Amino acid sequence: MHIIDVKNLSKRFGDFTAVKEISFSVEKGEVFGFLGPNGAGKTTTINMLTGLAQPTSGEIMIASQDGIKDIKKVQQIIGIVPDESNLYDEMSGYANLVFCASLYGLEKATREKRALELLKQFSLDNTGDRPFKAYSKGMKRKLTIAAGIIHEPEILFLDEPTTGIDVESARQIRHLIKTLNAKGTTIFLTTHYIEDAERLCNRIGFIVNGKVIKVSKTNDLMSEAQQENIVEFFIEKSESELEAALLHQFPQVSIKQSSPDSIKISSVERVQLMPFMRFFEAQGVVVSEARILRPSLEEVFVNITGIEINKLKKEKEGKKK
């Protein structure tokens, strides 16, 4: 069942069209990732879906309600976590949460109970009385997520949830996203970290230059990336005679890469390890490790967008500083 349906959605800023007639849907209960390079239109799309920006044209349906005309009703069932926090610097973590809860009309006792629960869940219970401005980047991001779910939304929108924070906070946030999703919250997140998309998302939409160019299940993308089967054997010493003998015995494989102590082979068919182990044994070569290499979603991303992911990360991290 679709919980979000977007049809021909566009956003123009003056002469510039940031989002161009995009269409996609999000299934109830899934984690949907929106991936794309800088300036692709991810934030603009999230802003339109959450009522922070008015679409120029197109349709949005959220939980069977009109996401443009009835956005106020829709906002009661969605949570928003922007990439730059929208919380108050001078207020404490606890006071920020209680304040957000009041915006959603929660009763005083419920607000206070919920704020304390969330501080505990996000491991911020010892720092709840500190002003927000005294929080580290990771703590700020966690509190911003806590504020986004204070009213237990059906759908949570997260814009770059793990960008620019320390490794441990990013790990905790990924865990929180998984826990929330396991309890039934539909998650829509933007990221430029391919690892996050791979670990968290059931489906991924790719947006480039304001256009959604592909939407696929993460598993299907992974099998697409698996155009070849690669196995790496770590051996005592790789020599050209050994490689020639290997190619002679296994004409279906090619040598992808070799170094003094390893050989990486590639095959379009599935590779069985045992015949190779027997081959090396017969050659008197000890194999210390054999590793089947996983395909990388990064390769798919690069193929689809034509953009090197490392370049993206550098640009993004530079921008955040």
* Footprint of ligand ATP (CB under 6 A): 13, 16, 18, 36, 38-44
Q: Indicate the residue among 53 and 247 with the shorter CB distance to ligand ATP.
A: 53
Shortest Å, Cβ 210 to ligand ATP: 7
Shortest Å, Cβ 18 to ligand ATP: 3
By the 8 A CB rule, do 133 and 183 touch?
no
Q: What letter represents residue 174's amino acid?
A: R
Shortest Å, Cβ 11 to ligand ATP: 8
Shortest Å, Cβ 50 to ligand ATP: 13
Pairing of strands 203-208, 31-35: parallel
Residue in the block written with tokens 């000890």 = 286
CB-based contacts of 193, cutoff 8 Å, min separation 6? 162, 163, 313
Q: Indicate the residue among 44 and 144 with the shorter CB distance to ligand ATP.
A: 44
Pairing of strands 57-62, 65-66: antiparallel
3-state secondary structure (DSSP) of residue 14: coil
Least Cα distance to 233 among 266, 201, 206 occurs for 266
Shortest Å, Cβ 42 to ligand ATP: 3
Q: Indicate the residue among 44 and 172 with the shorter CB distance to ligand ATP.
A: 44
By the 8 A CB rule, do 226 and 316 touch?
no
Q: Indicate the residue among 172 and 191 with the shorter CB distance to ligand ATP.
A: 191
Q: Indicate the residue among 208 and 246 with the shorter CB distance to ligand ATP.
A: 208
State how far the Cα of 91 lies from the Cα of 20, in Å rounded to an integer: 39
